[in-house]
Each structure stands twice: as C-alpha cells, then as structure tokens.
C-alpha cells in the first residue's frame, strides 16, 4: 500500500483568505507569526513553499487572531472567524 499524501496545514490561498478575514496585512501576519514579510509575500504568491515549522507558525498566528480552519468533508479545508461570545446573538 502507498503512503498517504499529507495535506498542508495551510495553503497560500488559505493564508491570504485568513488574512483578509482578520483584516490583516502581510506585515501584521509577519509581526504576529515572527515570519518575515518577504517569506509571507513569496509564499502567498506561490513563488516558493515554506517549511512545515514556518507553515505551523503562520497558521498558529492566524488561529490566535481568530481564524478557524476546519476540514469540510469532500471539499478540503474551510475557513471562518471565531465568534466572540460577547458578540454572539444566540449567546
């Protein structure tokens, strides 16, 4: 049996989408993740891949900022914003 292909924790498209959801610039993400803006720019522009550790730093910063990544059955990764309990009308 062949090895399973590992899905990235974060793709360039999801990284851009999460920044947009949080209203963050590349500079904001760089500051929160401690990853250089040039690395983020090149990754989001699909100019190069990033190491797993860097990918994890970016995702952790985005999640800490309120982005929620979730696997959507049959569709891949999805993205939404964490609801602040104070803002939840169902609360």
Q: What is the pLDDT of residue 12?
A: 95
Segment 34-85, tens digit of pLDDT? 999 999 999 999 999 999 999 999 999 999 999 999 888 888 888 989 987 6
Query: Which own/partner contact pairs does 23-28 have at CB distance under 8 Å and 24+ positions apart?
Result: 24/65
Task: Round to the nearest angstrom and report the end-to-end CA distance of the chain.
Answer: 48
* pTM recorded for the entire structure: 0.81
Confidence of residue 9 (pLDDT cuts 50, 70, 90): confident
CB neighbour list of residue 9: distance below 8 Å, 6 or more residues apart: 52, 55, 56, 59, 69
């Amino acid at each position: 049996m062949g090895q399973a292909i590992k899905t990235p924790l974060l793709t360039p498209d999801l990284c851009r989408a999460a920044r947009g959801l949080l209203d963050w610039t590349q500079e904001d993400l760089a500051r929160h993740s401690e990853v250089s803006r040039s690395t983020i720019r090149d990754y989001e522009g699909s100019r190069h891949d990033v190491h797993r550790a860097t990918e994890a730093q970016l995702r952790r910063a985005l999640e800490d900022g309120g982005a929620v990544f979730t696997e959507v059955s049959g569709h891949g990764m999805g993205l939404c914003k964490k609801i602040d309990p104070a803002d939840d009308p169902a609360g």
